[in-house]
């Protein structure tokens, strides 16, 4: 299937980034959100992001104008009717997403592809809630979308080969790199990354080394751009704990048990950067 027009549902952090990169690549994009305020904020964010690119001479002013002109906003999902691909990037809540997919499915033409940017919900389960599980796929972008090159393409049990091929073509056209992953908790990247970060919490809790030395070790010994404990603080320790708990319960395997120190830090309200304290202190003073 040739994808000519793209819809994005949810104009938050991820949705506005996805809409921006698709419009920059030349696709007309329809963004929908239940909240007009979210749509207005998204346009401001995209405008600011494009303006920065113009200032850095990575984009011409004419291209910026043309990109913005390719973006249409709507609070009514019916605006998605002519889209060949709709990428859902709404709030991470399964009941909400199931309702959204029922209405996308009822709105777009037969043969149109539906994708979800979910980080943690089974693509097979979401696909099965539509009348077109073969035309359903996971497209997992990384934050911030205009900067991060990877897109995980998640095949649900019923995802068709032509759906995968069409999604791959879109990812390449927007200048990103796809990897193909079977539907499984955490897909590939978070499945590997988050238990590694959890292991750093175990090591710290067992007194293997100081936080600074653990981070220095992984930066200099593995060429990671940031240490695992500093990365935990950026992601949020509560988010880390949620993901480990999802792995623990879905694989039913003790190797995914959350580190006791991680649990206790969350109990104490030490959530990382957003709370001012995690493994490091972010006290502005
Ligand atoms: P967000 O909270 O920034 O944005 C969600 C948007 O969805 C909001 O604007 C909200 O108004 C809108 N929304 C809620 N109900 C809706 C409905 N019925 N119809 C249309 N829009 C609706 O969330 P986010 O961080 O952009 O995350 C969106 C999705 O992307 C989630 O599934 C999340 O798991 C996934 N994801 C997030 C990240 C990340 O780093 N933030 C990374 C990869 C994937």
Name the residue range of residue 239's domain: 190-275
282 lies in some domain: no
pLDDT digits (tens, 9 = 90+) for 33-64: 999 999 999 999 999 999 999 999 999 999 99
121 lies in some domain: yes
If asked whether residues 153 and 271 sit together in one domain, one would say no
If asked whether residues 170 and 194 sit together in one domain, one would say no
pLDDT digits (tens, 9 = 90+) for 195-215: 999 999 999 999 999 999 999
If asked whether residues 166 and 37 sit together in one domain, one would say yes
If asked whether residues 103 and 16 sit together in one domain, one would say yes
CATH number of the domain at 107, please.
3.40.50.720
Q: How confident is the model at residue 122 (pLDDT cuts 50, 70, 90)?
A: very high
If asked whether residues 198 and 169 sit together in one domain, one would say no
Q: Which 3 state secondary structure label does DSSP give 126?
A: helix
What is the pTM for the complete model shown?
0.94
- Contact by Cβ (8 Å): 156, 136: yes
If asked whether residues 172 and 201 sit together in one domain, one would say no
245 lines ligand 1 (CB under 6 A): no
190 is an active site residue: yes
CA angle 52, 71, 148 (to 5 degrees): 50
Radius of gyration of the chain (CA): 20
CA of 88 to the centre of ligand 1 (A): 8
Q: How confident is the model at residue 283 (pLDDT cuts 50, 70, 90)?
A: confident
What would the mean pLDDT of 224-233 be, rounded to a whole number? 97
CA of 137 to the centre of ligand 1 (A): 17
Boundary of a domain, candidates 182, 206, 230: 182
If asked whether residues 42 and 84 sit together in one domain, one would say yes
Is pLDDT at 285 greater than 70 in this prediction? no
Per DSSP bridges, beta strands 6-9 and 29-32 are parallel
CA of 3 to the centre of ligand 1 (A): 23
Buried b / exposed e along 99-137 (16+ C-beta atoms within 10 A): ebbeebbebbeeebbbbbbbbebbbbebbebbebbebbb
CA distance 101 to 112: 13
Query: Average model confidence (pLDDT) for the chain?
Result: 97
1 lies in some domain: no
Identified catalytic residue from 49, 116, 119, 198: 119
11 lines ligand 1 (CB under 6 A): yes
Ligand 1 atom closest to the CA of 119, numbered from 1: 34
Boundary of a domain, candidates 121, 147, 182: 182
If asked whether residues 98 and 126 sit together in one domain, one would say yes
CA of 96 to the centre of ligand 1 (A): 11
280 lies in some domain: no
133 lies in some domain: yes
How many domains, the chain?
2
285 lies in some domain: no
If asked whether residues 226 and 109 sit together in one domain, one would say no
If asked whether residues 165 and 37 sit together in one domain, one would say yes
Boundary of a domain, candidates 182, 202, 221: 182
Backbone φ and ψ for 30, nearest 5 degrees, come out as -110, 120
The region, left, alpha or beta by phi > 0 then psi within -120 to 50, assigned to residue 175 is left
**Terminal CA-CA length for the chain:** 56
Express as a percent the part of the chain with pLDDT over 70.
99
Identified catalytic residue from 16, 117, 140, 183: 140
36 lies in some domain: yes
Identified catalytic residue from 88, 152, 183, 198: 152
Strand order in the sheet with 29-32: 71-74, 29-32, 6-9, 85-88, 113-116, 136-141, 150-155, 177-182
CATH number of the domain at 200, please.
1.10.1040.10
119 is an active site residue: yes
For residue 15, give the nearest of 111, 146, 128, 172 by alpha carbon.
146
If asked whether residues 136 and 253 sit together in one domain, one would say no
What is the model's pLDDT at position 1?
78
If asked whether residues 87 and 195 sit together in one domain, one would say no
177 lies in some domain: yes
Ligand 1 atom closest to the CA of 100, numbered from 1: 18
């Amino acid at each position: 299937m040739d994808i000519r027009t793209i819809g994005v549902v949810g104009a938050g952090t991820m949705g506005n980034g996805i809409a921006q990169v698709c419009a920059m690549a030349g696709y007309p994009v329809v963004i929908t959100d239940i909240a007009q305020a979210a749509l207005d904020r998204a346009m401001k964010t995209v405008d600011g992001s494009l303006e920065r690119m113009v200032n850095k001479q990575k984009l011409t002013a004419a291209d910026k104008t043309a990109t913005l002109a390719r973006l249409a906003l709507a609070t009514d999902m019916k605006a998605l009717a002519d889209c060949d691909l709709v990428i859902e990037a709404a709030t991470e809540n399964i009941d909400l997403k199931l309702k959204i997919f029922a209405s996308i499915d009822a709105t777009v033409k037969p043969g149109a592809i539906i994708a979800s940017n979910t980080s943690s919900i089974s693509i097979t389960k979401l696909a099965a809630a539509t009348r077109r599980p073969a035309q359903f796929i996971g497209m997992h972008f990384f934050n911030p979308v205009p900067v991060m090159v990877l897109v995980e393409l998640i095949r649900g049990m019923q995802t068709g080969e032509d759906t995968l091929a069409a999604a791959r073509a879109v990812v390449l056209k927007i200048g990103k790199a796809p990897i193909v992953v079977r539907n499984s908790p955490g897909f590939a990247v978070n499945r590997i990354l988050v238990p590694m970060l959890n292991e750093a919490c175990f090591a710290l809790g067992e007194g293997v080394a100081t936080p600074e030395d653990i981070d220095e070790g992984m930066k200099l010994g593995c060429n990671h751009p940031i240490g695992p404990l500093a990365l935990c603080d950026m992601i949020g320790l509560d988010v880390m704990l949620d993901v480990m708990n999802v792995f623990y319960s879905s694989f039913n395997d003790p190797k995914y048990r959350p580190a006791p120190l991680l649990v206790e830090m969350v109990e104490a309200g030490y959530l990382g950067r957003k709370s001012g304290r995690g493994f490091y202190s972010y006290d502005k003073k």
